[in-house]
Amino acid sequence: MIDFTRHERRVLVPLALTGFFETYDVALLTLAAPVLAGGLGLTIGAFGIAVALIRLASLASVPVLRLADRWGRRTLLIVSLAVFTLATGMTALAIGVVAFVALQMVARVFLATESSLASVVIAEELRPHRRGAGISVLGVISGVGFGLVAALLLVVPHTPLGWRLFYVVALVPLILVAYLRRNLRETRAFAVARAEHRLQTTFWPRVSRAQRGTCALAIALVSAFGLVQTACFFYASELAQTTYGWEGLFTVVVIVAGAFGILGFVLGGRVSDRVGRRPMVALAILLTAAGTILVFTRVEALFIPGFFLVTTGSACFLAVTLAYLAELFPTEVRATLASLVVSCQVAAGSLGLVVVGALGGVVEPSTLMLIGGGALVLSTLLLRWLPEAAGRDLVAASDPSLRAIALQGLPAT
C-alpha cells in the first residue's frame, strides 16, 4: 500500500476484504465440498448440482448492479454488504439442504454485487497506471480466504457446530468491513457522469453496437474460462481428498498455493498495468489450461504442480479481467455490463459442474476435465478482436471544469 496516494488508500481500505469473501465462498463450495455435502447428507455429485444452483444466482446481481449505474456506487455497496451479512448469518442456522441452497443463493446475489462493484470503484478512483495494482491488492488479501477454509477443514469435523462453523466465522470480518465502509464516498467518474446528465434512467441500458460486440466477445472469453476453472477446483478437491486420501496434505497444498495466488494477482494487476491487459489474459488462460491437464492426468506426482498452476492462472485471470472490464465500458453502463460479463462466467462455471456431475456415471470426471483443459486454450483466439484498454480515461468529462471538480472530490453541480 506504500505506493498508493492517501486518497487511493482511503478507497482501498474499506474494500480490501471484498476479495476475501469471494474467495472464502469459492473455497467453501469447492475445497470444503466433501464436508458440506456430508453435513447436508448429500453425495458429492448431488452437492455439485446444489453448488451450480447457488452460483447461478449470481445472474440476479445484474439487475441489482444496474441500480449502481443509476443511483451510485456507494449506496449499492452499503445495501449489498447488509444483505450478504444477514444471509450468511442465517445460513449458519439453516435446517436442511433446501434452506441452505435458498439462503446461499440470496447471499451469492449480493456477494457478486460486492465483488463487481468493488472493482469498478477501484478502477474509477485510482490513477490509470495503478488500477490493476489496486485490484490485485484485493486479490492478495483474498488469498486468506482459501487459507482460512483450509485451516477450518482440520477443525470443523471435530466441533459441535460442524459445517455451520464456516458461516459463523465469516460474520467476524463482515462486521469489520461494515465499520470501515461507513465513510466511503461516491466515485468521481459517477459524479461527472451525473453532472453531465449521462446517467440512464431506464432499467434496460442503452448500449451502442460497438459496445454490444465488445460485451459479447468478453462474455464468450470469460464463460469458456469459468466452464473449466470452476469444475477443476471442485473435482480437484474431491480427487485429492477422496481418491488420493490427502486430507491433511491437501490442506498444506492449499495453504502453499496461496503464494502462487499472490503471484497470479501480481501478474494480473501490476504487470498488466505495464504490459497491457490482453497479454496477461492470454497467459492466465494458458496457465490454467496446463494446470488442469496436469491435475487430472491421475498421476499423483503431477497433481500438486498442476494445482499451483491453476491457482496462479485463476488469480491472474480474476485480477486482469476485473480491471479490463471496467476499462472497456463507459461510466453510465460500466457496472451493468461488467457484472453481466462476470455473471456469465459464474453461470458457465455452474454449467460445467452440472455437465461433469451428470456425465459422471458414464465418463470419468478426470477425462472430461482433460478435454476441457485442452479446449480452453482455443479461447485465447477471442482476444484478437478485443481492444487493449489499459490506462484508458474512465472519468471522461467533456467539460474540463467538471473534471477539475471531480478530481478535487467536491460535489459536482
pLDDT average, residue stretch 37-60? 83
Mean pLDDT of 172-200: 86
Could you give the C-alpha distances from 93 to 45, 96, 297, in angstroms and in order?
A: 24, 10, 40
**Nearest in space to 218 (alpha carbons), one of 96, 321, 351, 64:** 321
The alpha helices in 156-187, defined as continuous H runs, are 165-180
The tens digit of pLDDT for each residue in 207-242 reads: 888 899 999 999 999 999 999 998 898 889 888 888
- Angle made by CA atoms 293, 338, 225, in degrees to the nearest 5: 10
From residue 139, give the alpha-carbon distance in Å to each of 5, 231, 247, 315, 362: 19, 21, 26, 7, 38
Mean pLDDT within 84-88: 89
**In the predicted model, what is the mean pLDDT of the chain?**
86
Q: What is the pTM of this model?
A: 0.83
Distance CA 339, CA 322 (A): 10
What is residue 411's DSSP assignment?
Answer: P
Q: How far apart are CA 136 and CA 276, in angstroms?
A: 15
User: Which of residues 399 and 338 earns the better pLDDT score?
Assistant: 338
Encode 326-365 in three state secondary structure. Answer: HHHCCHHHHHHHHHHHHHHHHHHHHHHHHHHHHCCCCCCH
Q: Kindly indicate the confidence band of residue 302, based on its pLDDT and cuts at 50, 70 and 90.
A: very high
Beta carbons of 274 and 130 less than 8 angstroms apart: no
More confident residue, 280 or 202: 280
User: What is the per-residue burial (b if ≥16 Cβ within 10 Å, else e) of 372-408?
Assistant: bbeebbebbebbeebeebbbbebbebeeeebbebbee
pLDDT in tens, 6-17: 888 888 888 888
Domains in the chain, start-ordered, CATH in brackets?
6-407 (1.20.1250.20)
CA nearest neighbour of 277 among 231, 346, 230, 214: 214
C-beta separation of 406 from 412 below 8 A:
yes
User: pLDDT grade, residue 396 (50/70/90)?
Assistant: low
Lowest mean pLDDT among 72-76, 247-251, 349-353, 364-368: 247-251
- Read off the pLDDT band of 399 (50, 70, 90): low
Residue 413 is predicted with a pLDDT of 35
Mean pLDDT of 24-39: 83
The separation between CA 219 and the C-alpha centre of its own chain, rounded to angstroms, equals 15
| Helix/strand/coil percent split, the chain, to 5 | 80, 0, 20
Q: How confident is the model over 167-191, as a mean pLDDT?
A: 86
On the question of pLDDT at 322 being above 70, the answer is yes
